Each structure stands twice: as structure tokens, then as C-alpha cells.
Amino acid sequence: MFLEHFPEEGRVNGWIEIVCGSMFSGKTEELIRRLKRAQFANQKILLVKPLVDHRYHKENVVSHQGTSFEAICVNNSREILDIWKKERIVAIDEAQFFDEGIVQTCNQLAAIGVRVIVAGLDMDFAGVPFGPMPHLLSVAEYVTKVHAICLSCGNLAQFSHRTVEDKEQVLVGAVDEYKPLCRSCYNKIAH
């Protein structure tokens, strides 16, 4: 079993923190901000992202604002444990694209003293909870929900409205495919 290989002596308590919200709300920007603070404190960091996310850079995690941090691309949640080299912080971007095993992976890491920072969309373009995010939100110690600004009215936005005709749940995109909307503006367009 995974936990048997890592004695608890000398370890501090781990935890899971989630940064969630819509597209263009600053999730990745906040993830990178937290990592840069930890990096300044000389803490060892492992940042991973799913292979499907190749929008701005093949390997690095890059925010819509252009902020970047070195990352490793993985196929599935199990690979995170395989590449983990006892870093104090494990960060995961675009968690909604991972398999349900990501919840167990995060719990295992937190149980042995790792600070796990997860960023991801809480809802898909249809306003439905996205992938493993609801389960991750329920087991996390800390949750930060960030908001974009509605492009229609200027209120806080929590919906990622898809602007192209594609009904697949996963469509990796940016400003050409999505725009953030508040509940009122989303309901006017989507229903």
C-alpha cells in the first residue's frame, strides 16, 4: 500500500486546498501565486497538469494572463504518485480533466503530510458539476471560489458559457470558445 512506504516521523500535517471557479476567474493565476510564495520559502514543489491541456504551452502551466510555472504532464491521477519525489507541495491544475482516482491520490498525499493545491473548473459549460471536482470540494480543508467578470453586464460571473457549437463536455479552449457570464445573463442565453 502507498502509505506504508512513508513513515509519519518528522512529517507535518497535510491538507487539500481547492481553487475553483469559472473560466477566466483567475484559478491558475491563484495557483501559481501560491506556488511562487512556497518557492520563495524554498519548499519543494511538484506541479502537474493533464495531457489534454495544451492551450498555451505543451508542458508549463500558463494562466490566461501569461503567468507560467514549470509543470509535468500526466495521463492520469495514478501517475502523480509515480513521479512524486517527496515534494512538500503537490499542485494540480485543471483537475476537472482527471479521472475519479484524483480524489484518492489527493487524500493519500495529504494523509502523509503533503500540502495539496488543486485548481479546476467547478462546473462545465452546461452549468453541471465537472468531473471529480464536487468530490474534491467535499474532502478539501480549504476552498477558494474565484469569479470572473460577466462580459454581458459586468457583475461577478460564475458560469463558463461556450460560444461555439460543440456539445462535448471537454473542449479545451480560451476566449475564442468561452466567455464568463453571471447567473442572470447565462440563464438568458442558455435557456
Catalytically active residues, by annotation: 94
- The end-to-end CA distance of the chain, in Å, is 48
Q: How far is 78 from 137, CA to CA, in rounded Å?
A: 19
Cβ atoms of residues 41 and 88 within 8 Å: no
**What is the C-alpha to C-alpha distance for residues 189 and 10, in angstroms, rounded to an integer?**
54
C-beta of residue 92 within 8 angstroms of C-beta of residue 48:
yes
Alpha-carbon span 65 to 50, nearest angstrom: 20
